[in-house]
Structure 1
Amino acid sequence: MTATAPAPTPAAEALRPHAEQSHAAELAALAAADDRPRPPGWKLSPWAVTEYIQGTTLPDGTEITPKYIGARSVVEVAVATLATDRALLLLGVPGTAKTWLSEHLAAAISGDSTLLVQGTAGTAEEAIRYGWNYARLLAEGPSEAAMVPSPVMTAMADGRLARVEELTRIPSDVQDALITVLSEKTLPVPELAMEVQAQRGFNIIATANDRDRGVNDLSSALRRRFNTVVLPVPQTADDEVDIVTRRVAQLGSSLELPEVPTGLAEIRRIVTVFRELRSGTTEDGRTKVKSPSGTLSTAEAISVVTNGIALAAYFGDGTLRPFDVAAGIRGAVVQDPVSDEVVWREYLETVVRERDGWDDLYRACRETERR
């Protein structure tokens, strides 16, 4: 009996479609309207890529939704970098949309965001260079058929973008495998006396976490080959509320959660709590508060709201209420059960309890502690 490979999962059935799948209509509309110069190998011009990321309305009325809420100059520098021979390093604290922006840049420029190396402490050099199908290697010896190309090698051969997530989590000796790739634009394969030369359109987008400094810092030789763009946390509470609202709506749609009223007031309160604990002061600047050990990023606020919507839809009355988000807020704040518990209790009693209109959130948070 011959086994057959399973058919690819249609984008409509995927739990999380790739950016080029979920936004295919927007990318096609931009390509049709894009009459500006495109760098070699690019699907869109730098202007169109920026419009895709920032959002716009095309002359034919097509709405391009924003993918990144932030300064346009940040996106323009990132896009311009990828049009040169310098690689791009997106640097920022957790939750500043580094991975999100990386994926959408690759989707817009190459039409493919899947050439991904996920950095961890266990990432081996084969993930950046190439590996081997050892069954074929033992049976036939070294050959191109026995070689397993890495996402980076595939991107080089096809003239596309490769993504390297959490670069500073990768061991330093493995990171340095990128130096030849980025400087010489070649990847030698000494076992076959050959090399893979990068085709036009190839480049690398890497991300790194500010909190990982000192873990596996980049060598000066490697850092020189990247142009670093720092992604800041959202500047205003309104920006962060907008980001959370949009992402929650997208996640709710993809997960097919029952519709729940947006609960904008609850989203704003969650964002306010996270921003105040992050900054160490209340939004009016009058009260100093302690900051917990966690990051309390925008991504965590999105998670708290999404979980709250699920609770409201399946176990509540269909409206997002304080009791639906209280446990999520506490779980995000209290990462260290000793020190963070003190921070959270103090904030709850000195800020939440005393703030006008927040008595229902205070009661919900206290009730969560009793469970």
Structure 2
Amino acid sequence: MSVSVESVEPTTAASERDETGQVLRPHAEQAFAAELTALAEQDDRPRPARWKLSPWAVATYLLGGTLPDGTVITPKYVGPRRIVEVAVTTLATDRALLLLGVPGTAKTWVSEHLAAAVSGDSTLLVQGTAGTPEEAIRYGWNYARLLAHGPSRDALVPSPVMRAMAEGMTARVEELTRIPADVQDTLITILSEKTLPVPELGEEVQAVRGFNLIATANDRDRGVNDLSSALRRRFNTVVLPLPESADAEVDIVTRRVEQLGRSLELPATPDGIDEIRRVVTVFRELRDGVTADGRTKLKSPSGTLSTAEAISVVTNGLALATHFGDGVLRPGDIAAGILGAVVRDPAADRMIWQEYLETVVRERDGWTDFYRACREVSA
């Protein structure tokens, strides 16, 4: 016998809150609803069971393009097309997808948009932490009903994974390697047998067609809670790389800052591209341990200096320029953010940063204002 899991409607429709401007960060399926609708209307390719779009349309949604009617689909991910194609194809098979990479390589972003395009719902999410319990992946109980009436379907509280299995949708597990190993292994039966036993009721939930799971993992967490070989075999691993070029990274940062700026009601800064490129250059050089021209070797700080951190630095600088400046993004608006991102270890990282300022930034043409701003916040 199988357990039926019913969908739970939110008390206030998220789309309605978004239309009134009250949602700080709408889900992907809300923020890009128009693009998803346009793709669905013009998508004449075969779709796997319960998919909202065909694999081709899902890839187009992530990578961007122009539809036959002229509708422009904005890129959600800037990177090798083959990586996206492999990820989408994996979800159309019986293997789960593991997105692996260093911090800030858009694993969560890609996961959310894949779920939105495939299932139309990116909210069936388990956030992995060191304290994530087994119930977060399997199911829990309404203890008031459990104590009053004993184990029953009414007392059972389905997890996002259980709901995805019952409804043929895509579940997401973020930071899988942060979850304790014994809790991770709860997924083995789910992914291999496509079944979730409920022994308290003598029943089980069987996954219906359309179910799959996307997990993300940070390769900096290796050795924390490594996946067992049994669990790793249930995943097809796709590694998301850092942007190949400075131009690609500048493009990513610019797009995301524009999106975040709109949600935060910050004005556009058409002249901010120079500061964005400066932030990206600093992060790439310190991350790679060599200047862009390859002439000077550098020491790398302890932080990751990821694209996501660059986005955060620029967004914070834009807020400073808006609320405490003239609205134009300048070196003084980003200097403190860069310092906070680079200097994680007050002793070692500060020395690395000071050496970079004096040997690289100070001598670089056109960077005098940036050098002075960084010296001021570093003092």
TM-score by length of 1: 0.97
The alignment partner of 1:263 has SS state of helix
Distance 1:203 1:235 in 2: 30
- Report the CA distance between 1:6 and its aligned residue: 5.4
The aligned counterpart of 2:61 is: 52
Paired with 1:318 and 1:43, the residues of 2 have a C-alpha distance of 42
Q: 1:263-303 CA distances to partner (integer Å, 9 max, x unpaired)?
A: 11110010000000000000111000000000000000000
Residue 91 (structure 2) aligns with = 82
Contact 1:260 1:312 in 2 (8 A): no
Secondary structure in 2 matching 1:90: strand
1:136 and 1:146 in contact (8 A); partners too: yes
Q: What is the match of residue 273 of structure 2?
A: 264
Q: Indicate the residue corresponding to 1:7 in structure 2.
A: 12
Structure 1 unaligned residues grouped into runs of 5+: none
Residue 213 (structure 1) aligns with: 222
Q: Take 2:181 and 2:327, find their aligned partners in 1: how far apart are those partners?
A: 50
- Contact 2:303–2:342 (8 Å) recurs in 1: yes
Q: Give 1:115's match in structure 2, choosing from 100, 105, 124.
A: 124
Q: 1:318: Cα distance to partner?
A: 1.2
- Deviations for 1:320-367, whole angstroms, at most 9, x for unmatched residues? 000000000111000111110011000000000011111111011011
Structure-2 residue corresponding to 1:312: 321
Whole-Å separation in 2 of the counterparts to 1:175 and 1:195: 19
1:129 is matched with which residue? 138
| Equivalent of residue 160 in structure 2, options 151, 155, 158 | 151
Match of 1:162 in 2: 171
Q: Does 1:96 align with 2:99?
A: no
Match of residue 257 from structure 2: 248
Contact residue 15 and residue 254 of structure 1 kept, 8 A: yes
State the Cα RMSD in Å: 0.9
Query: Take 1:344 and 1:92, find their aligned partners in 2: how far apart are those partners?
Result: 25
For structure 2, list consecutive stretches of 5 or more residues without a partner in the other structure.
1-9
1:44: how far off?
Answer: 0.3
Q: Distance in 1 between the 2:182 and 2:11 partners?
A: 37
1:173 counterpart (163, 182, 207): 182
- Measure the CA separation in 1 of the matches of 2:172 and 2:24: 21
Aligned equivalents of 1:285, 1:258: Cα separation in 2: 37
How far 1:260 sits from its partner (Å)? 2.9
User: How far apart in 2 are the matches of 1:273 and 1:121?
Assistant: 33
The CA deviation string for residues 130-170 of structure 1, in whole angstroms up to 9 with x for no partner, is 00000000001100000000000000000000000000000
- 1:20-35 map, 5 Å: 20-35=29-44
Q: 1:26 to 1:262 in 2, by over 3 A?
A: farther
State the alpha-carbon separation in 1 of the partners of residues 264 and 45 from structure 2.
37
1:140 to 2:145 alignment: no
Alpha carbons 1:294, 1:333 under 8 Å: kept: yes
Q: 1:60 corresponds to which letter in structure 2?
A: D
CA displacement, residues 175-218 of structure 1 (integer Å, 9 cap, x when unaligned) = 00000000000000000010000011000000000100000000
Q: In the alignment, residue 24 of structure 1 is paired with which amino acid? A: A
CA distance in structure 1 between the partners assigned to 2:234 and 2:58 by the alignment: 23
Secondary structure of residue in 1 paired with 2:200: helix
Contact 1:54 1:72 in 2 (8 A): yes
Task: Tell me how far apart the structure 2 counterparts of residues 6 and 54 of structure 1 sit (CA, whole Å).
Answer: 34
- Correspondence for 1:283: 292
